[in-house]
Amino acid sequence: MGHVARKRFGQHFLTDKAVIDGIIDAIGPGEDQAMVEIGPGLGAMTLPLLQRLPASSRPLTVIELDRDLAARMRKRGDVTVIESDVLKVDFAALAAERGRKLKVVGNLPYNISSPILFHLLGVVDHVVDQTFMLQKEVVDRMAAGPGGKDYGRLSVMLQWRYDVEALFDVPPEAFDPPPRVDSAIVRMVPLPAPARLEEALLSELVASAFSQRRKLLRHSLGKWLDARGFEGEFDLQRRAEEVPVAEFVALAQAVQG
């Protein structure tokens, strides 16, 4: 009996072979990699990955919450299965266990994609790169530059630590069942020398800045800076969407002192 997609897990299974081949090409399986797949589902990406994954990069580690799907994966000898909520997985420990940085891939559940991205942001130093399929709207926000409606907190927080590149779109008919939204593939490569600062501080600063995105920053971020006794220079006569990532980061560093 076939597996029925479970709505509570946000399951949509990729079935289009051309799309799958394009994703595998984007991932670029190679020698001596520690690859982790989030949400392998029925193995649409897992099996083609394994076909191109050299022996030096095996086993492939997969993280699957659905116990029935995890049981299916355990039948394979070339896969290590972590049956867990991905938000509870210790990726730093996983990298230490494999003795190298991780290459993380997957078709992320759209209902918790942002929490997964922020969970991985906390272990970015243990990652080589990340290639994900996500809702197109989310990918647009991740990769957006300043000046448009897609640019926001997600853009700033991720681009502080990653080079984010939207690769290509995936239509609903590539899945079974088809989602009600378009999807897209995104690649995230950690920056070699990111600005060092407290993630929590930057997150609070950026959340304040975008809390009233239609108003000038003096109405939102200005009050946040005043409350912290900040006396430095920063142009608050702009809207949050006009401020480049580098300026938000530099401001956070100045506030941190």
CA 19 to chain centre: 19
Distance, CA of 165 to CA of 146 (rounded, Å):
15
Taking each helix axis from N to C terminus, what angle separates 245-256 and 199-209, rounded to the nearest 10 degrees?
Answer: 120
Output the known binding site for S-adenosyl-L-methionine.
Answer: 12, 14, 39, 64, 85, 107
Please give the annotated binding residues, written as ranges.
12, 14, 39, 64, 85, 107
Q: What is the three-class DSSP state of 14?
A: strand
Token code pair at residue 255: 């506030």
| Integer angstrom CA distances of residue 205 from 101, 102, 114, 188, 218 | 30, 30, 18, 23, 13
Q: Tokens 């299916």, residue?
A: 72
